[in-house]
Amino acid sequence: MIEEYVKMSYRNIFRRKRRPALTVIGIFIGISAVVALVSLGQGLESSIQQEFQSIGGNKIFVNPGGSLTSGGEDAEPLTDQDLEAMRSTRGISRAEGALFMNTGVSIGEQTEFLPVIGIPANENIDLVMESWAMEIEEGRMIRENDRYNIVLGSRVADQVFDEELGVRSNINVNDVKHRAVGVLEPTGDPSIDTAVIMTLSSSRDLMDRPENYDWLFGEADEGFEPGEVKEDVEKQIRNRRGTEEGEETFTVSTQEDLVASFQGILDVVRGVVIGIAGISLLVGGVGIMNTMYTSV
């Protein structure tokens, strides 16, 4: 009897060639979709890891708020005293601070609300540039005496405004006229690619924040473990503020912490994607089973 069933199935398959062909195509598409989704997640993870590796494993970051994602205008800002506490920490070779605030940026009648980043235009400018993966594509980087000169993020130059911008373009930042002297290469980070970069002193005047920072960047000396230096930096700033351990209003992190934070997000995204793919395969499998059953 089994032999008869096999012969019957064989005859039906070749009698209705279109139906089994569509079934095979459906199976192929389902498997390909799962493989593509998983590969996409793995590629995204690899890309993020490579980006952080380019920053360097000896970088240490401080931001306001009790976690990497809890900053903002309501968080207690970092100050010059916090920066000095970081600089005085054993194992820190150098440290700098930066400002980050959204404000109106306009070309003619068009105004956009964009990030404005103030960075120190001194001998340590490379520390901030490396930490944020900034590289110049056109023109030059800002210099210490560039009071009204700025550098444009890649998307500010060619996507944000109706007209394409570049070196020597005139832009109003918070109703103050500035001139572009450079354009950054794309970083993949929207907060950088859509930003306007200026000197720290200019941004402090523009934002009326003479002693505040939104980020501190430090570099650990050779021979020091970044994780241990991170703990010492946290202790120094905590002592300076008179804050008890566990009640910090700031966060100190290393590259590994940033990677772990993104890894957690990617794991959730990957789980959702695989779940959707699994449901799709289940539904498709039931459909294929039904088709094969009714065709025999």
Give residue 284's pLDDT. Answer: 67
Give residue 245's pLDDT. Answer: 84
Lowest pLDDT segment from 39-43, 87-91, 121-125, 219-223:
39-43
Give residue 233's pLDDT. Answer: 94
Please report which confidence band the pLDDT of residue 247 belongs to, taking 50, 70 and 90 as the band edges: confident
| Model confidence pLDDT, tens digit, residues 27-71 | 777 777 777 777 776 776 666 666 555 555 789 999 997 555 545
Please report which confidence band the pLDDT of residue 203 belongs to, taking 50, 70 and 90 as the band edges: very high
Is pLDDT at 88 greater than 90 in this prediction? yes
Per the model's pLDDT, the better-predicted residue between 55 and 203 turns out to be 203
Q: How many CA atoms lie within 13 A of 10 on its CB side?
A: 6
Q: Domain segments of the chain: what residues?
A: 2-52+258-295, 56-248
Per the model's pLDDT, the better-predicted residue between 20 and 96 turns out to be 96
Please report which confidence band the pLDDT of residue 170 belongs to, taking 50, 70 and 90 as the band edges: very high
